[in-house]
Amino acid sequence: VGAAVGGRMTDNLSGRFSVHQYRGNGFYDNVSLNIDDSNERDELTSRGKLSWQLGNDWQAKLSLLYANFDNGYDAWSPENGRVTFSDNPGRDEQKTRGGSLKFSGPVSDSADFVSITGYAGSDILFSFDGEWGDADYWAPYGYDYVYSDERDRDSLSQEFRLVSSPEGRIFNGRTDWVLGVYGQRLDESDDILSAGLYDDSVDEPYSWCQPCLDHTTLQSDYESSNLAIFGRLDTDLSARTRLNAGLRLERWEADYQDVFTDHIWGVPGQPVRHDFHPSENLWGGDISLDFQLTEQARLYGLASRGYKAGGFNPSLARALGPGAELGPEAIAYDPEVLLNFEAGIKGLWLDGKLSADVALFYMDRKDMQVRSSAQFTDNPNDFVFITSNAEGHSYGLEASLAWQLSDNWRLHGSLGLLESTIDEYGLEREADIEGELIGREFSHAPPYTLNLGVSYANSRGWVARLDYNAVGSFYFDYSHDEKSGSRQTVNVKLGKQWQNWSVYGWVRNLFDEDYY
């Protein structure tokens, strides 16, 4: 259920405010606690926006956000189904407060000034039942683990831009320009608890845990700063040809510390501390050429270089116990660089009734940041996700169309084709995984995606839409070779529209297909 209201409040002030509440039971039944909402979603989201006309073409825009997600987390079952057996279901909670303030206006006849300030703060709790069961399920063995991660995250950013006005175009009035600076400060802390026991004393005299206890904590702190300068030039080379170029230079610095304590088996040598202070000079940019074939169609070519800063794996720091295959150096991972080359055509045809675009692309990923999973010990909570660096490339095609067949009927569709390959991978796969990762496709990279749909609307306000969606089979992870299988789903929507009101009924996945 939700509501929104907006419009002009005074001659110079307008705004919009909305609030939305979502409830869902999560589609799982917990037989241990005899409840059907242990995987529930209970989410409140509220937003507000204000726009002031300050005079002399200056304006200010304020955006505010508050979100309170009080969700359960009970999605894992030893039997891999929609029935769970956990006696300590987890939580997936988040409270986020955020806002941005934007000022813009002319500073001269040649340039406009833009200031954008942003803030976001989040308090997050993520927990789960480590062994996915209860005493009855695991009897006669004692098996009971819990895991929780409390996280606080705050970020503050500031950007200043100078943007050319029509009178401020340079190079004989043919070039628009942008010049700006950007800064961001991020602070994040994690507090991770893992505790539990395993007891196989029933197997006496062959038992080896009577019981084995676990109680560990990890506190980590992460701070990073980003300082960047950027610029852009968009130049009309001729009446039909336009050259666009942009460049961004950025300095990234980070500080990471963690303290790991084993409260049962940690003497001597506890607590264990890790400390990293990386810094990088990063740069990215793009250059593109647009050629206007006709008034309604254009060709373009693009080359770009993008980047992502590096980071850290706090959960890995917690799991690095005696005999672990990875060392502390795996806690940190390096920045990633993406080289992208693209060419395409966009346009309108058949007197504007048909719009279509086609693009071909090739991407080369250097120090590709990939996330995989690993299990280091028999402790179920030592299953962790690790981000590491790899190498890879991909290429493909993207296309879309919208065709107004008649006054009432409209056809639409999109197609994506993707070929991806892992060229290098830094981590060793688990011993029982037979497949070779190098040469394999990326995870979550289906070879094709397809949407084809038709919509109907008449002068009396009746509307209908039918969509067919298809996705090819893709790998789930880099640590194993399980695949999703291909899937096809159908969505339908019917409704009636009036001048001030509309009513719709819809069904997603009309034929109730199970997919993963």
Encode 395-417 in three state secondary structure: EEEEEEEEEECCCCEEEEEEEEE
**Dihedral of the alpha carbons of 170, 55, 62, 17, in degrees to the nearest 10:** -130
Query: What value, to the nearest 5°, has the Cα angle with vertex 388 and ends 149 and 269?
Result: 55
List per-residue pLDDT tens for the chain, 516 residues long: 999 999 999 999 999 999 999 999 999 999 999 999 999 999 999 999 999 999 999 999 999 999 999 999 999 999 999 999 999 999 999 999 999 999 999 999 999 999 999 999 999 999 999 999 999 999 999 999 999 999 999 999 999 999 999 999 999 999 999 999 999 999 999 999 999 999 999 999 999 888 899 999 999 999 999 999 999 999 999 999 999 999 999 999 999 999 999 999 877 878 889 999 999 999 999 999 999 999 999 999 999 999 999 999 888 887 775 556 678 888 999 999 999 999 999 999 999 999 999 999 999 999 999 998 887 778 888 888 889 999 999 999 999 999 999 999 999 999 999 999 999 998 877 777 888 889 999 999 999 999 999 999 999 999 999 999 999 999 998 988 999 999 999 999 999 999 999 999 999 999 999 998
The whole-angstrom separation of Cα 393 and Cα 13 is: 50
pLDDT for residue 267: 76
Q: For residue 197, what are the CA distances in angstroms to 11, 33, 143, 191, 192?
A: 67, 21, 6, 21, 17
The whole-angstrom separation of Cα 372 and Cα 482 is: 13
* SS3 assignment, position 496: strand
Q: What are phi and psi of 380, to 5 degrees?
A: -60, -25
Tokens of 127: 């927990």
Pairing of strands 83-84, 29-30: parallel
Tell me the HSE value of 464 on the side-chain side, using a 13 A CA sphere.
Answer: 7
Burial 115-148 (b: 16+ CB within 10 A, else e): ebebebebebbbbbbbbbbbeebbeebbbbbbbb
Largest CA distance in the chain: 91
The whole-angstrom separation of Cα 493 and Cα 457 is: 12
pLDDT for residue 91: 97
pLDDT for residue 13: 97
pLDDT for residue 109: 93
Q: What are phi and psi of 89, to 5 degrees?
A: -55, 150
Q: Which residues are CB-contacts of 241 (< 8 A; sequence separation ≥ 6)? A: 289, 290, 291, 292
- Return the bridge partners of 247, or none: 231, 285
DSSP assignment, residue 380? G
Q: What are phi and psi of 362, to 5 degrees?
A: -140, 130
Omega prior to 322 cis, within 30 of 0: no
> Within 10 A of 436 (CB to CB), how many other CB atoms are there?
11
Burial 444-472 (b: 16+ CB within 10 A, else e): ebbbebbbebbbebeeeeebebebebebb
The whole-angstrom separation of Cα 246 and Cα 178 is: 9
The H helix count followed by the E strand count for the chain is 2, 25
Q: Which residues are CB-contacts of 295 (< 8 A; sequence separation ≥ 6)? A: none
pLDDT for residue 432: 76
Single-letter code of the amino acid located at 450 = L
pLDDT for residue 322: 53
Q: What are phi and psi of 400, to 5 degrees?
A: -150, 155
The whole-angstrom separation of Cα 176 and Cα 284 is: 20
